[in-house]
Structure 1
């Protein structure tokens, strides 16, 4: 499988390349015109990387590198909240699906890479998981029609949209703090080039904590499908190449269990989606 494109670091240097059996094929040294995958996405050159990796040997064997978030420094990371029917029902407010989607933003620093620990901060012990699929915008635009929206996607990746539950209720109306603690979430492991609407329209998405399935649903049940998300968001802001939309999590987060169960150091969280892979992270306390 040579269509997994990742950002990684080794010996103090940052690279991007293609994931191969046994390690990574670094390609960034060959494409200095594109310093990071954000510029590769902007140039529409993900497929060029896939082709360039063919027949090349591994440059960085397994265990010699660390995964980073795939797209460094995107201008925007916009997250869609309460986007599955069972999630809406969790609020027990007697209301059907809202007319418009709930949105909030996250900062790149709030995410870490694959196989690196989520950080439970000193300020709270209520770190929770949210497994999601994230779409990376390839072709920017404003006022994008629904029927053209999927054509603006460059790639897919996975997200653990880690949340400090008590900090999303620190004021009358906000979630920003609880969604943006440093390294409280994860993104990756890699980008999968978007080639077919079937990659996102009805895909199984699961979350496991220490091997136990906690979340399990399909994107076909989203109240606001990905095409609607792109169209709606582009109504009020210009989407740019490299922007990321985190598309919503199913029911089953730890805060909704009875009693609630939050993440602790030593836990292992795995987010999996068909056709994308598995995003895996442990948990550690802030030092």
Structure 2
């Protein structure tokens, strides 16, 4: 399985292939593609895979960054599993259309780094999700062709400050965008077949305890529909990220709530992608 990451080593940022022994820097060989966003725009993941074959590890010690450092858009899908809809206890059936919100790249950190619990709130919560990276852009993308517009998959901990999503009448932007409150990574896995997304097990563990466990086949709005719907109102471009929805089991839904605290270890895992692992620290 090919895995491509953005990482920092010795004060320099690279992208490259991740192997059992470490990272193989590939960005120096492709100066025309400054980041993985440009690689994806040029349909270059296959070229990276070829370049990595037989290459020795260049970095054994490094720090993961978010895979796409500056996507034009990060669009998140809310309330996308049946049990999540039931959590709201409002008596409403699953909605006809999906709930969406935007996150900024700065609100995410990389694999292995600490999520930051901000000074403004102690209600930092986890949401394990699969994220899709758009490879072929477009507008009004038909649902039956939507999956062909995906370049790669990654994982997301869509960390949320629960009290801050209720600071206003109808929006969640504030609580979803505290700096480094979420994580993305560790790497990109090239998307080559619908089976990689259509019915995949997705789990979140906190300190080894399984908190979320479901399958993408139970999504209210499957990924193909997400792409078709979003592209109705905005042009998707290569490198855009769609965060596809989280199962039931977030900390806010326990009684009493079980929010994240410094020292916690959160792992988001999905079949065929890997494990995204982060700790928690308080804002300095």
Which category describes the TM-score, using the shorter chain as reference length?
over 0.9
In structure 2, which of residues 188, 206, 211 is the aligned counterpart of residue 209 of structure 1?
206
* TM superposition shift of 1:147: 0.2
| Alpha-carbon distance in 2 for matches of 1:56, 1:76 | 33
2:279 to 265, 277, 282: 282
Deviation, structure 1 residue 173? 1.2
2:109 to 109, 112, 119: 112
Number of equivalences: 284
SS across alignment from 2:175: helix
| Unpaired segments ≥5 residues, structure 1 | none
SS at match of 1:60: coil
- The aligned runs of 1:246-285 (5 Å cut-off) are 246-285=243-282
Corresponding residue for residue 40 of structure 1:
39
Corresponding residue for residue 50 of structure 2: 51
1:161 aligns with 2:165: no
* 2:20 is aligned with 1:21: yes
Q: What secondary structure is seen at the aligned counterpart in 1 of 2:146?
A: helix
Structure 2 residue aligned with 1:79: 76
Quote the Cα distance in structure 1 between the aligned partners of 2:231 and 2:157.
24
Deviation at 1:22, TM superposition (A): 1.4
Structure 2: 5+ residue runs without aligned partners? none
**What is the rounded CA distance, in whole Å, between the counterparts of 2:21 and 2:247 in structure 1?**
33
**How many Å separate the matches in 2 of 1:182 and 1:11?**
24
Do structure 1's residue 170 and structure 2's residue 167 form an aligned pair?
Answer: yes
User: Which residue of 113, 123, 138 corresponds with 2:135?
Assistant: 138
Aligned residue in 2 for 1:60 = 59
Aligned match for 1:191, one of 188, 192, 197 = 188
Paired residues for 1:224-239 under 5 Å: 224-239=221-236
How far off is 1:152 after superposition? 0.1
1 CA distance for matches of 2:46 and 2:108? Answer: 26
Please list the CA deviations of residues 99-126 of structure 1 after superposition, one character each: whole Å capped at 9, or x if unmatched.
Answer: 0000000000000000000000000000
- SS of the residue 1:279 aligns to: strand
Q: Secondary structure of the residue that 1:205 maps to in structure 2?
A: strand
Give the ranges of 4+ consecutive aligned residues of structure 1 lying more than 2 Å apart after TM superposition.
none
